[in-house]
Structure 1
Amino acid sequence: MILYYDPDKQSWFHTEAEQEYTFGVDEIPVPYRNKPSSSSIPFHLGYRKKNNLGPFLGILAGRKNERNIIGNGPLFKKLQEEILDYGGLSFVFTLEHMREQQVDGYLYLPYKEQWLLVKLPIPHLVYNRLPFRKMEQTEQFQSAIRLFQKKDVCFFNPSFLDKYQLYKIFKEDAHLSRYFPETILIQDRLSLESFLDQHKDIYVKPSNAAKGRGIYRIMKNEKILVQGLKKNQTFTDFDELWKEYRAKLTKVPYIAQKSISPLLHEGNRYDFRVLAHFDGEKYIVTGIGIRQSVEQSVTTHIPNGGRLIPQQEVLKEKDKQFIQAVVQRCGEILTKEIGFFGEFSMDVGLTENEDYVIYEINSKPMSFDEKDIEEARVRQLVQLFGHSFYTDGKGFRYLF
């Protein structure tokens, strides 16, 4: 059917005289008009039982100021284009735009290449793309969560992930525990010093950061070497190191992780960046990108000097099989312990003995530089949103 939006009167309507339609999770009746005006914008939508139109997808983003939204604009546009082809509608909104019965959201119109601010019902699904952890710690966010629960809105990817929380969760799993490097939460000087004395080569990084921010490698021999993304420092003893880094390592939660001797390719470390999605029945691998360090050995992230290398240079069939197996298990555990994750990403590596290692899991994957992976990502998300809508979200809220 065709749902119209009248930008002059800021209202939605349909033109099928013998039909009654509703939209949004509250199943709000859609008004009837005998014909659209010249300025009305048509949207071709599907519907489920009771002629409830959709799916209506709300993409929760951050707000910079009155006129600007923070988020992955290219992804939001691609989702809107794809979901329109699917027979649904997506819009971007912020916590400040929410009301009890409606939300002010930004619709992207591909044929005009512009955004339109409209009033919409509370959506059937919300895709959490808040860009900063602090936004999820506000009362506004908690109030929104309560509203979604009350209305039975399917909420995808409930929060950012804490590295140490994840480590503790996955260490309890008999199958996965072996793949996570030994990790501690740095609570004080003694905890870090003891861990460094034990392993001699460790990484320290914020428990609540991503993209390689704030990461250091610390190696102890006669002296102590600290490698950062931009500079290296040498200290005579731990007293000197602690004096220099105490404020940084105690201002926010930091973890220390045992260093792994990685398998090298052409003299440099590399790892697999894995994108995974739930397909309605199981977790699947959507794409695998390969990242290699070049300018420094601390991280392989491209913004920090890493580079992309072709799959055929290092990725083997056994690697694909391993990654698929752990993706399924990790997805099950995440959803059971934290909430439904429709997508996540993983950093997976190999030791010099070709044993597998899981370095990190992220709930809000960054954009992949590989165009084919980004395209597959959009397709998987839209199929997932549609599957949830047409099955009333069954199997999505309490999966395992």
Structure 2
Amino acid sequence: MNSRNFEDIKPVVAILTMPNSIRGFRGNHANFMDIVRTGKEMGFPVYVVTLRDLKLTSPTVKGYTLNANNDDWETQQFPLPQVIYNRIPMREDEEKPWVQNKIKSYLAHPSIHFYNPYFFNKWDLFEWLKVSKSTDYLVPMTKRLVGEVSLSRIIDKHPYLYLKPESGKAGKGIMMLKFQKSKTLPYRLKIQNNRSSITYKSASMRRLWIRLKKETGSSPYIVQQGIQLATVDDRPFDLRIMVQKTSTGQWGVTGVGARMAGLKSITTHVPRGGTIESPTKLISTLFGSDMATMIISQIKTTALIIARQIERASHFNLGEMSMDLGIDHLGKVWFFEANARPMKFDESHIRKKSLERIFEYSQYLTRHNKHH
């Protein structure tokens, strides 16, 4: 068989998620439909499978695919996948012992490629980036929230802080803390609710700490230096970058989007009032169009360096991630967050390319031995 034919062979790709007694499987069904449609158009055998149904010992698997009209799900028996694309929806799912065991068995399988096995933990991400000279300078000061005394010390150095849950998602649980010496109630804690936020003011560290404990409960939190982001019309913005591995197995930038904070929001998340903007337009407004071209190209390079460092430090085979980078008023780039299970991008050109790359990288994986 010549190599040309071999290259035309498309691997069987399974999208992995959790079972659901009513709908068959959990997760973002519309997203899964897009992935399956794209795979079919590109000629890949592709199906959605739940952890319960994906047994590596049986020759066939019960999976979900789109019907002939491409508008609804139907179940079929499929061959075992050669590539598993992990879309387990929630951290709580991933932490269950039976799920952990299944993931380990997929990772250990001699010929099945399983990529993006785990969610990232915020603390780990910052630790991974701090150990390399190539990424250390991008990370704002980050510490664990451990106690009143250490928080007091941090505030002395950094009077503007963010508090984030280690295992947070989509901006949930993020708080902003400012210490304004000249005010009678110098401690200001801004707590974000769905669309608005409330500000708790206190005169003493003691009172602030009691309120903080009430908000954080038993969740581990990190404390991070606040960065004065560049603003347009008094609204801060950050950049959302999608990086994925390509058909050559190398990291590539799929697209760069910009998110502008809602007027009352402390983050730029769209469900919390943020808006989608053009990164080139925003950066040109601030720094002029020549500088904007340079800054955007620097952001793309930086995103690739970060992706390579995260993969190296995590010791897992990763295939995609999205990340949030910010630019401060001087044009310096900062790293805030990376997601191992990226949400879908609303920008249609980024979306299309991101769907195709899932399959291009799957093809690359099956052309190379698993322990290559």
**TM-score w.r.t. length of structure 2:** 0.88
Measure the CA separation in 1 of the matches of 2:317 and 2:84: 12
Contact 1:226 1:234 in 2 (8 A): yes
Aligned to 1:293: 261
Aligned to 2:62: 104
User: In the TM superposition, what is the alpha-carbon distance from 1:73 to its structure 2 partner?
Assistant: 1.9
Q: Secondary structure, in 3 states, of the residue corresponding to 2:346?
A: coil
Measure the CA separation in 2 of the matches of 1:165 and 1:69: 30
Equivalent of 1:329, from 305, 309, 319? 305
User: In the TM superposition, what is the alpha-carbon distance from 1:272 to its structure 2 partner?
Assistant: 0.7
Distance change in 2, residues 1:146/1:326 (3 Å)? same
Measure the CA separation in 2 of the matches of 1:232 and 1:64: 39
User: In the TM superposition, what is the alpha-carbon distance from 1:207 to its structure 2 partner?
Assistant: 0.8
Q: Secondary structure, in 3 states, of the residue corresponding to 1:210?
A: coil
Q: 2:187 aligned with 1:228, yes or no?
A: no
Contact 1:268 1:297 in 2 (8 A): no
Equivalent of 2:216, from 249, 254, 258? 249
User: In the TM superposition, what is the alpha-carbon distance from 1:297 to its structure 2 partner?
Assistant: 4.7
Q: 2:94 aligned with 1:136, yes or no?
A: yes
Aligned to 1:175: 134
**Letter of the structure 2 residue corresponding to residue 59 of structure 1:** I
Measure the CA separation in 2 of the matches of 1:254 and 1:248: 11
User: In the TM superposition, what is the alpha-carbon distance from 1:150 to its structure 2 partner?
Assistant: 2.4
Measure the CA separation in 2 of the matches of 1:141 and 1:383: 27
User: In the TM superposition, what is the alpha-carbon distance from 1:393 to its structure 2 partner?
Assistant: 4.9
Q: Secondary structure, in 3 states, of the residue corresponding to 2:88?
A: coil
**Letter of the structure 1 residue corresponding to residue 359 of structure 2:** V
Distance change in 2, residues 1:393/1:82 (3 Å)? farther
Bigger relative CO (Cα 8 Å, ≥ 6 apart)? 2
Measure the CA separation in 2 of the matches of 1:110 and 1:276: 32
The equivalences for 1:1-400 within 5 A come to 48=6, 54-99=10-55, 100-101=57-58, 102-109=60-67, 111-148=69-106, 149-222=108-181, 223-229=186-192, 230-279=197-246, 280-315=248-283, 316-338=292-314, 339-389=316-366, 391-393=367-369
**Letter of the structure 2 residue corresponding to residue 147 of structure 1:** S
User: In the TM superposition, what is the alpha-carbon distance from 1:262 to its structure 2 partner?
Assistant: 1.4
Measure the CA separation in 2 of the matches of 1:112 and 1:174: 48
The one-character-per-residue Cα deviations of 1:115-150 (angstroms, maximum 9, x if unpaired) are 111222321001111111121122322322333222
Structure 1 portions without partners, runs of 5+: 1-45
Measure the CA separation in 2 of the matches of 1:194 and 1:47: 64
User: In the TM superposition, what is the alpha-carbon distance from 1:283 to its structure 2 partner?
Assistant: 1.1
Measure the CA separation in 2 of the matches of 1:175 and 1:254: 26
Aligned residues: 348
Q: Which has the larger radius of gyration?
A: 1
Distance change in 2, residues 1:158/1:193 (3 Å)? same
Aligned to 2:289: none
Indicate the RMSD between aligned Cα atoms, in angstroms: 2.1
Measure the CA separation in 1 of the matches of 2:110 and 2:154: 47
Contact 1:97 1:103 in 2 (8 A): yes
Measure the CA separation in 2 of the matches of 1:159 and 1:318: 34
Q: Percent identity?
A: 23
Measure the CA separation in 2 of the matches of 1:251 and 1:146: 28
User: In the TM superposition, what is the alpha-carbon distance from 1:250 to its structure 2 partner?
Assistant: 4.7
Contact 2:16 2:84 in 1 (8 A): yes
Contact 2:237 2:268 in 1 (8 A): yes
The one-character-per-residue Cα deviations of 1:93-133 (angstroms, maximum 9, x if unpaired) are 11111222243211123525221112223210011111111
The one-character-per-residue Cα deviations of 1:2-60 (angstroms, maximum 9, x if unpaired) are xxxxxxxxxxxxxxxxxxxxxxxxxxxxxxxxxxxxxxxxxxxx9749x9x64111111
Aligned to 1:23: none
Give the ranges of 4+ consecutive aligned residues of structure 1 lying more than 3 Å apart after TM superposition. Answer: 46-49
Structure 2 portions without partners, runs of 5+: 284-291
- Which moves more between the two structures, 247-256 or 207-216? 247-256
Contact 1:196 1:220 in 2 (8 A): yes
**Letter of the structure 1 residue corresponding to residue 80 of structure 2:** I
Aligned to 1:9: none
Measure the CA separation in 2 of the matches of 1:60 and 1:119: 15
Measure the CA separation in 1 of the matches of 2:265 and 2:68: 42
- Which moves more between the two structures, 122-131 or 184-193? 184-193
Q: Secondary structure, in 3 states, of the residue corresponding to 1:383?
A: helix
Measure the CA separation in 2 of the matches of 1:196 and 1:164: 19
